[in-house]
Amino acid sequence: MRILTKRLLIISIFLLAFFIGAICLRVGKQEDAHKDYVLGGIFTGKKQDENIDLAASSLSRQAIQIMNKQMSNLNETYFRPSNLKALNSRFMNLEAFSENFKDGKIPNELLNTPEKSAINYFSVLQQASNLTMEKNGGCGTVGYGLEPFPIAYSFLSENNKKSMNYDVFLKSFEGIGHINLIKLLPVTVDSTDMSRFFLELEILEGSSVGVTTFNYYTGELDVLKVNGLYYIDSLTLTPEDFFCAAYHGWAHNAESYVETVYGNWCGLIMKQYAPDQDEYMKKIIIDGVDNRKYMFEFAKLTNGTDLLINSLVKKKGDWVPVQIDVEKCLDKNKVQF
């Protein structure tokens, strides 16, 4: 009797463990199914800005002058497409594309640095098109059609492939006819095997009314080192809005953002220097009240926004990542969201 009871108990425990495992697996699959994918990455949606009680008078005269200058050239600053050169035009010639990817294999030299892997991945995708009846365009074949997608999928890490199978990957490009990579900026991370980039994509999409549209996405791309080669491990993408920065400006401008957030709120700034900038990025250095130098790097987006991508502090002559808890600054100064 005792033996029978013990066996029944063991069987009950086994069945309970089996059902719990099955439920967890189902939940995991449901979570993956609810993820929205676009352009081979996870679609995060536009982040809504919080309503911050900030008087315009709290900005310095210099910051106000910069913002006024941008507003005086409103249309050119905020409502025009990019004039940047595409970075991913390595395989615009079909013969060169076919020669590089014989038998659908990727040559190792296209994967031997993080930046090369990122640029070559988007170079493969540049002429890929997956136009549909619902989102169409062109007058016949567009680009290289579906041919590049299996090759692009081979750039993904095994972990990335497990979370997004090929059918999901291909479907995420529906309606897309052309992809331009117009920004690829390094994001500082504390890792030897993983590299991170901020990127901006210019997308040509079809439509249901025969209009081809230009759209822009920003994203964060992780590239993973595996046996000396680099693979696309994850990509998150957010669509760009072209109305926020033009009409709700201070938080979208690097100079006023640094002054407001790290000066007025956090009380960190002793001196703020003029930005060092090019067509891709703004870098603002400050002298902190703690006798340390800080640098804030912003990507300059097509929609006129300066987006913070790196916060750094100088230690022993090197710029290293630093986390500044802005929420604590807000609590301390009782600035309400």
Pairwise CA distance, residues 295 & 196, whole Å: 18
Confidence band, pLDDT 50/70/90 cuts, at residue 197: very high
Residue 225 near residue 247 (C-beta atoms within 8 A): no
Phi, psi (degrees; rounded to nearest 5) at 291? 65, 25
Structure tokens at 12: 């009950």
Per-range mean pLDDT, top range of 13-27, 55-69, 294-308:
294-308
Residue 232 near residue 160 (C-beta atoms within 8 A): yes
pLDDT at 66: 65
H or E element: which one contains 306?
strand 306-315
pLDDT at 88: 98
The pLDDT tens digits for 273-295 are 999 999 999 999 999 999 999 99
Residue 74's nearest CA partner among 247, 257, 315 is 247
Task: Give the domains, in start order, of the chain with CATH numbers.
Answer: 58-80+245-333 (no CATH), 94-239 (3.10.450.100)
The pLDDT tens digits for 70-124 are 666 788 888 999 999 999 999 999 888 999 998 889 999 999 999 999 999 999 9
Structure tokens at 148: 């590049």
Report the side by side order of strands in the sheet with 229-239.
37-38, 41-43, 229-239, 213-226, 194-205, 176-187
Is it the case that residue 204 has pLDDT exceeding 50?
Answer: yes
Pairwise CA distance, residues 229 & 295, whole Å: 31
Phi, psi (degrees; rounded to nearest 5) at 120? -70, -35
Query: To the nearest whole number, what is the mean pLDDT of the chain?
Result: 86
CA 45, distance to chain mean position in Å, is: 11
Identify which has the larger pLDDT, 167 or 45: 167
pLDDT at 5: 54
Q: Which residues pair with 260 in a beta bridge?
A: none
Structure tokens at 68: 């006024």
DSSP conformational letter for 106: P
Pairwise CA distance, residues 59 & 65, whole Å: 10
Work out whether the CA dihedral 167, 182, 84, 72 comes out positive or negative.
positive
The pLDDT tens digits for 290-333 are 999 999 999 999 999 999 999 999 999 999 999 999 888 877 75
Residue 125's nearest CA partner among 203, 178, 183 is 178
The pLDDT tens digits for 210-235 are 899 999 999 999 999 999 999 999 99
pLDDT at 30: 44
Is it the case that residue 19 has pLDDT exceeding 80?
Answer: no
Structure tokens at 230: 């680099």
Angle 234-235-241 (CA atoms, 0-180°, nearest 5)? Answer: 160
